[in-house]
Structure 1
């Protein structure tokens, strides 16, 4: 194909087309995928039918003149920690396909997310702005409306910019909780499909194989008269974890009753998983023994599975003719706590386990190799648009050496527990300047770490190190220069609340 493909692998899950992958080109390592997973054919066909019908409608309605250019595939790998990739220092061999991709990509070694959960991070990815500026970032526990969406109108999004320049824009998302149309992330997409989770049912979740299948179909039906912008959101590293046979290195370590998995949604609130997470995060005790091993092993199993499906997608891209003129960008929206700092999951705080994420880019202008420059989520669309010769989304928000990550209150499920509310009902921002990291909190409990000497952020040097005061001054200047955006309030219906419960964002025992 003459069109290029830019893949932004930034983390999430959806479909599968079945069949064997095309022959591997020389130089790519073989993947270890010991046990295939049986798919629900009826559900797969339903998703493929929706996609085909949608693509047909979009093509018939498109009256723009033809244009040539590289296609762009943006892939978000939801909840993927940077430290699980060999390209970012892991020696566990969890991600051979992502590591093979990284070998031919620009690898941003100091990439940090702007937010600790899906909504603010994707808002930055699509707008080129920090969450404090785009406004889609959550709300305090006493707010009348419990979350805020990306405004329906405002500065252009990445999809709007590419669409105006002649690209066909297609989005396929697995995160039903915060990537359906309710939250405004579909702005500018000609076609946007978001995977439904049946209320109370997670037997087939997550489904990276299905997401890959939908992506393959979208690529096969790419328009002949214009380039394609394809956004993909994979979600398998996100809870609930459903480890597949053959992807778990130490299955004997996993205690199923400690997993947030099916029938997780129906009864987990009174189960061992939720009791353990509340005990750990309230400070009653640290994560320990078999429970900690279970969570870490289950997470790593999902990372292996996700890597296998991403490898399958990369094979298909090669088979479809995407070559050196293509752009491929791989990243995650945020990471995951697995017991560190007495924390589990994400959307809790801005320690490195959650804000350090992978970013890898292939394409013209991106010489392969490590790039130590400080990069954040809002910089990703600007890097792509600059490479394509298009106007930036937010020229006034140009990259600085100061990286700022925000946790704007915790998710409301956690605020429903008195002990967790006390810990999480606040605003936390991390300001990173090289090895120096400052954490400022709305409750006045601040922290500071020298990451070169203390990468685990185990001992705060706030009030001791001489670099803290100058960094505080820079943080104040940065915050003072921001124009705070106002996200639109969201009122959720019963079905949407069920989706949020299904992903653990709302107390499953609540009825309102």
Structure 2
């Protein structure tokens, strides 16, 4: 079996032909009547909510009644895979329609004594969905709870006229999001709103004391990842706490949907609900996320309600977070949507390229706490139910998810011809003309407030986390 070469770092960005987005939507001007306006677009990201936390994806009945009801009048993608198992690169893919190897906004390997945050920001040369919609007359705003990996310094606010970022629970996020929608409603412009909830992220917002929840999670993390032991009862407890947080978040989503209905915005809006990544509770000796590309941390929901849609459909084609921008562009209708679709051409379908997942080393705290285990890049490539995992350490795994959803039996040797074919496809993709090339973009140091959030959310390393003091190692991708 061929070795997997240590290639594909950062070099010059692939920039699609941007051009001008064609003529503005004919109804985008301030004088247009409301009947002529393109539909409102609302994109909702549920941080750390893996697909099977939601009832229609397999969670116990009653776990998420609001999302279950929402899906009855929407397109539910049966399988959706995040482009990365953590927030920053997956949101960069969500907004650009590009994979991490193309947009370059992912973590890097820092020196051993680093004290900063090892992540590159999104290069402003890339066109985001918000920029495209703003250029077509949309009023754009984001109401964001992840104040660390969605902070403006990371470049994900490109195209948003308003970027309201502050860590807060769902009721406050709802208040701010609905207030933004109420602002300037008479402007005669369509709206694009991005809403980010963090209630299912550490510390899980269960209603229980935060300290107690973190104690259980920290104990599981230590036993699994430091001692190599898994207590099934403890794992089940932590997973139940996470599910409790998701259920509470679902109740707040119902209140947000009610707020849209009260404003006459729900029926005619294009509403997308997804997540940036999942969460692991001990499978593959992993707890939490950002550490690898197994299913626990990359299978996410994708539910798309089209304007005026009343009945639901289940879409069988595998989707990815890189498809979301294209799905939104394609759903807006008219010739301008065709122009937008040129900018964001990736959509799920039988002729779509195989879905890819990427992870680069993990975050600084994981590199410092768990030795050399995560000092590697990992990729996953899907071909139907077959999943290839390959790494810069030359590790290769192959799973048939139709019979082995837990990824327990490595078939790489047994099905060597399939393994070789998919390895060749993966190498061709990563080394192709779209690969990012150019200087890395550093986001700068954290503020005191951001540093406090950094630690509370479990991101902190052992050296004080002074921000982006961490320069890449010589052999890190650039």
Q: Distance in 2 between the 1:365 and 1:433 partners?
A: 34
Q: Distance in 2 between the 1:458 and 1:469 partners?
A: 20
Deviations 1:435-464 (A, max 9, x none): 000000111121110000101111111111
Deviations 1:225-256 (A, max 9, x none): 111111100010100123226xxxxxxxxx98
Kept in 1, the 8 Å contact 2:379–2:390? The answer is: yes
Q: Secondary structure at the match of 1:391?
A: helix
Q: Name the residue aligned to 2:62.
A: 93
Could you say if the C-alpha distance between residues 126 and 257 of structure 1 is closer, same or farther in structure 2, counting changes exceeding 3 Å?
Answer: closer
With structure 1 as the length reference, what TM-score do the two structures score?
0.77
Of 378, 390, 399, the residue aligned with 1:428 is 378
Q: Distance in 2 between the 1:178 and 1:485 partners?
A: 22
Of 475, 480, 484, the residue aligned with 2:431 is 480
Aligned length: 418
1:310 CA drift (Å): 0.3
Kept in 1, the 8 Å contact 2:170–2:252? The answer is: yes
- Say if 2:271 is the partner of 1:328: yes
Could you say if the C-alpha distance between residues 103 and 272 of structure 1 is closer, same or farther in structure 2, counting changes exceeding 3 Å?
Answer: closer
Q: Name the residue aligned to 1:169.
A: 140
Q: Name the residue aligned to 1:46.
A: none
**How big is the alpha-carbon RMSD for the aligned residues of Structure 1 and Structure 2?**
2.4
1:275 CA drift (Å): 5.2
Could you say if the C-alpha distance between residues 298 and 509 of structure 1 is closer, same or farther in structure 2, counting changes exceeding 3 Å?
Answer: farther
Of 125, 129, 153, the residue aligned with 2:98 is 129
Of 41, 44, 47, the residue aligned with 1:78 is 47
- Say if 2:77 is the partner of 1:108: yes
Q: Name the residue aligned to 1:471.
A: 422
Of 217, 221, 229, the residue aligned with 1:277 is 221
Of 135, 138, 147, the residue aligned with 2:107 is 138
Could you say if the C-alpha distance between residues 171 and 355 of structure 1 is closer, same or farther in structure 2, counting changes exceeding 3 Å?
Answer: same
1:382 CA drift (Å): 1.0
1:257 CA drift (Å): 6.4
Q: Distance in 1 between the 2:210 and 2:152 partners?
A: 34
Of 153, 166, 178, the residue aligned with 1:216 is 178
Q: Distance in 2 between the 1:286 and 1:171 partners?
A: 39
Q: Name the residue aligned to 2:388.
A: 438
1:503 CA drift (Å): 1.3
Q: Name the residue aligned to 1:149.
A: 121
Deviations 1:285-334 (A, max 9, x none): 12432x22331121011011000000111111111112543211111111
- Say if 2:163 is the partner of 1:192: yes
Deviations 1:95-149 (A, max 9, x none): 0100000011001112110011000011011111111111111111339872100
With structure 2 as the length reference, what TM-score do the two structures score?
0.82
Could you say if the C-alpha distance between residues 195 and 393 of structure 1 is closer, same or farther in structure 2, counting changes exceeding 3 Å?
Answer: farther
Matches within 5 A, 1:248-287: 259-260=213-214, 273-274=217-218, 276-282=220-226, 284-287=228-231
Of 344, 362, 368, the residue aligned with 2:312 is 368
Q: Name the residue aligned to 1:10.
A: none
Q: Name the residue aligned to 2:197.
A: 234
Could you say if the C-alpha distance between residues 312 and 490 of structure 1 is closer, same or farther in structure 2, counting changes exceeding 3 Å?
Answer: same
Matches within 5 A, 1:292-311: 292-311=235-254
Q: Secondary structure at the match of 1:129?
A: coil
Q: Distance in 1 between the 2:50 and 2:251 partners?
A: 16
Kept in 2, the 8 Å contact 1:141–1:425? The answer is: no
Q: Distance in 1 between the 2:465 and 2:269 partners?
A: 48
Could you say if the C-alpha distance between residues 350 and 258 of structure 1 is closer, same or farther in structure 2, counting changes exceeding 3 Å?
Answer: farther
Q: What runs of 5+ residues in structure 2 fail to find an aligned partner? A: 1-27, 467-478
Q: Secondary structure at the match of 1:179?
A: coil
Q: Name the residue aligned to 1:37.
A: none
Q: Distance in 2 between the 1:89 and 1:503 partners?
A: 27
Kept in 2, the 8 Å contact 1:156–1:393? The answer is: no
Q: Distance in 2 between the 1:445 and 1:299 partners?
A: 31
Q: Distance in 1 between the 2:437 and 2:253 partners?
A: 35
Kept in 2, the 8 Å contact 1:128–1:393? The answer is: no
Deviations 1:357-389 (A, max 9, x none): 000111149773110112111110111112222
Kept in 1, the 8 Å contact 2:39–2:307? The answer is: no
Q: Name the residue aligned to 1:56.
A: none
Kept in 1, the 8 Å contact 2:204–2:210? The answer is: no
Q: Name the residue aligned to 1:392.
A: 341
1:64 CA drift (Å): 6.5
Q: Distance in 2 between the 1:428 and 1:221 partners?
A: 44
Deviations 1:413-444 (A, max 9, x none): 11112xx1321111111101110000001111
Kept in 1, the 8 Å contact 2:329–2:344? The answer is: no
Kept in 1, the 8 Å contact 2:74–2:305? The answer is: yes
Kept in 2, the 8 Å contact 1:401–1:433? The answer is: no
